[in-house]
Homo-oligomer: A and B are copies of this chain.
């Protein structure tokens, strides 16, 4: 919910501006947007922190494979200048600036724009941290726009530096695949985490259901819904990636993309399974409420059913009629006690038989 709220301001502001107007849509931020770049071939690797625009342009046009990473997209001007450098359509730039965009992929003659979401799950809450990552892939450059400064791409950076695997020997398309792979692997890890938490919640509800339980279930349902919305369209994105033939993605990468596709399908399956479990939890919750009610009613019924007849008997002999012969008999008082004990005993047997305690 929070995600949508922060959008309102900018969206209202944007309404009424000509289409293609560049406005940042997302959480308000003040941190400096930093740009890093890595330039490599299978021999050398140069890394640039906080690179200037001129240097960036130089790196972008070099023959080596280049990875430019922009941390934060709230600096509209910077994003605009990088976009112009690459030659993006204004509407593409607009999509990059809108951090609420649905995952999608658009193919152009000499580049593609991919928009996916990075996920993270806060340790003690159900709040999904959804961060948008936009990819520009050209012949030999990958540009990534991250909504905020993150460290998810560090393993790829490390592989590049240590020249592990195929990554240094192949082109920008394999780098692009590697970055996507890191993001989508994270989806499965998040789903595993959700799974554990739902199992834990189930245990808690079984033991002691309270009003908070339902709130928890609903929060998880919302989280699962968000997961679904994030993961589902990615399937289409990857499908398009596999089936579209473009010059800047080589044939031999398609096998790796198939692999990503398998992961996304599995993530979708896991989302569905978790959703099913949450609906099962609702049943558990309502059943527990009913069970508790039954228990309360049993206590009331047992106590009332035993003592109300006894009280009646006591009431009988509390009447003040002149002519009540029993009152004067020697053994009538203990006899009443015995009768009462027998009645109580019979009732207890009856309740026992009904399995009420």
Contacts and interface: CB of A to CB of B under 8 A. Distances in A.
A215 interface: yes
B328 A102 contact: no
Interface stretch (A30-38, A79-87, A132-140, A251-259): A251-259
A4 B266 CA distance: 12
Given A211-B287, A283-B214, A185 B315 contact: no
Closest 6 CB pairs of A and B: A18-B165, A16-B155, A314-B315, A317-B319, A300-B301, A318-B318
Given A265-B102, A322-B327, A290 B289 contact: yes
B297 A296 contact: yes
Contact of A18 (B159, B308, B356): B159
A124 interface: no
A341 interface: no
A290 B1 CA distance: 27
A122 interface: no
Contacts of A265: 102
Interface in A299-357: 299-301, 303-305, 307-312, 314-324, 326-333, 336, 354-356
A91 B280 contact: no
Given A192-B7, A310-B312, A323 B330 contact: yes
Interface in A122-181: 154-155, 158-159, 164-167, 177-178, 181
Nearest to A288: B211
A195 interface: yes
Contacts of A320: 317-320, 324, 327
Contact of A315 (B311, B327, B331): B311
Interface stretch (A49-57, A67-75, A240-248, A269-277): A269-277
A318 to B, nearest CB: 4
Contact of A300 (B19, B89, B300): B300
A292 interface: yes
Q: Which of A181, A195, A293, A355 has the most CB of B within 10 A?
A: A293
Contact of A280 (B206, B221, B305): B221
A285 interface: yes
Contact of A4 (B192, B282, B288, B304): B192
15 contacts: A1-B195, A11-B188, A18-B166, A21-B165, A94-B259, A214-B283, A229-B273, A296-B298, A300-B304, A303-B308, A307-B309, A319-B333, A321-B326, A321-B327, A323-B333
